Amino acid sequence: MQRRLDRRSFIALGAAAPFGILAGAPLALGIAPAPAWAQGEAPKEGADFTRLATPVASDSPGKIEVLEFFQYSCPHCFHFAPDLETWRKRLPADVAYKRIPVAFAPQTLPHAKLYYALETLNKLEDLHMKVFTAFHVDKRRLLDPKDIADFMAANGIDREKWNATFDSFTVNTRATRAQQVWQNYKIDGTPMIGIDGRFLTGPSVVRAQSKAGALVVMDWLVERVRAERGKK
């Protein structure tokens, strides 16, 4: 329990902590080109993914729901995001992909609100990666509402419209709902991927300890859920 509290403290401060602090395991992002499994071996529960003790209800009826749990302050989320974006764009119509911003501490709640304000204004596709870059490359924490508004204004969003959206009932409600979702999934580190309300995987979970390994397991889990549904 203390380890979880320590990890959350690092995340709340936006520290570029080692992955062992952020998500409980070492990770050499981008180094391992492929999963470290024997040829033809399928991913294994407990080794490449975990199963939730209590399934979480999906918000995407009739579809296979994939949830990306991330933080703008997480360096590993920043490095994984381009790969996930490529993966997301090739998904078939029966898969619903959603991002869930995680705020382990109240100090980072503005990041969750920022995400949903961008989505409400239909600016997410344009600015999602720019927010990551601002935090990790330009060293802007984007936690103060004025700093956030300055950033958005510099990127073409009307300041008054942004402020009204950022503080709106809709955005606050969605940020609160996001907290309920990641808590239901028992998320204690990022990045993490939830699939069908039952499974969790990510670069720190798979035996390959890599982004590539996580993507393979994600593909496999989606196919598994699709096959199970086809049998019903």
Q: Mean pLDDT, 10 residues at a time, over the chain (232 residues)?
A: 31 35 35 50 95 96 97 98 97 98 97 98 98 98 98 98 98 98 97 98 96 97 96 77
Query: pLDDT at position 41, please?
Result: 85
Domain total of the chain: 1
According to the model, what pLDDT value does residue 12 have?
37
Position 76 scores a pLDDT of 98
HSE at residue 14, side-chain half, CA atoms within 13 A, is 18
Instruction: Identify the pLDDT of residue 6.
Output: 32
33 in a structural domain: no
Pull the structure tokens for residue 175: 């940020």
Whether residue 93 is contained in a domain is answered as: yes
Residue 136: inside a domain = yes
The pLDDT of residue 5: 31
Q: Is residue 28 in a domain?
A: no
CB contact at 8 A, 191 and 70: yes
Indicate the SS3 state at residue 87.
helix
Quote the longest CA-to-CA distance of the chain.
56
* Predicted local distance difference test score (pLDDT) of residue 15: 38
Q: For position 231, what pLDDT does the model report?
A: 83
Which single residue is written with the structure tokens 């999934």?
Answer: 185
Separation of alpha carbons 61 and 59, rounded Å: 6
CATH code, 72: 3.40.30.10
DSSP 190: S
- The answer as to whether 27 is a domain residue is no
| Residue listed under structure tokens 């300890």 | 209
Identify whether 25 is part of a domain: no
